[in-house]
Every structure is written in C-alpha cells, then in structure tokens.
Structure 1
C-alpha cells in the first residue's frame, strides 16, 4: 500500500510540530534557569546592600 501525498505531508507536519515542541520546551527551561539566576543575584545584591554601613 502506497502512502498518499497528503499522508506524507501530515507526517512531515507532525515531525515539524514535534521539533517545535521540543525547541519550545528547551527555551522554557532556559527561561526558568535565567529567572532563578536573576532571583539569586537580586537576593545577593539586596543582602549585600542591607549589610553595608554607609555611616562610616
């Protein structure tokens, strides 16, 4: 049984969709990692500023 052109197109779109979903998951992971790093640096900066004695 041969596959029709539309079936091949559907398969190709499915593979493309999967690749895009994988890329999106990767980008979302990068965003979460960078958000955590921003939070960590913000806390570090806040802690650093709050421990400074500017009166001296």
Structure 2
C-alpha cells in the first residue's frame, strides 16, 4: 500500500507485510533517494521513515 503525506509531498511510502507480522516500509522520493525499514510495528516504521525523510528534505533546503 502506497501512502503520501502532505508535509513531505515528494516522498512515497510503500508498506508491505513480508511475512506474518513482519513489515517493510520503503520510502522513495522524486530524486531517487530511498529509506528502508523492517520490523513488527508498521506505524513505528512509517514514523521513523517520515522523520528521516523530513530531515533529508530540511537539509536539502538548508534548514
């Protein structure tokens, strides 16, 4: 399932259950950068990826 968030519109987050109770989140931006997390709590994984994507976006914009 692909999710997007208005605060980081250039990123798309793909959430996939790889095996029973094990999730992988792959976040990609329009420039080809990728963030990947695997674990048992999909909400936590998304939050971690969102934080990292926001940090990368801020650094790119000089702030």
TM superposition score normalised by structure 2: 0.36
Higher strand share: 2
Of structures 1 and 2, the one with the larger relative CO (CA 8 A, separation 6+) is 2
Q: Could you say which structure has the larger radius of gyration?
A: 1
Using the size of structure 1 for normalisation, the TM-score is: 0.40
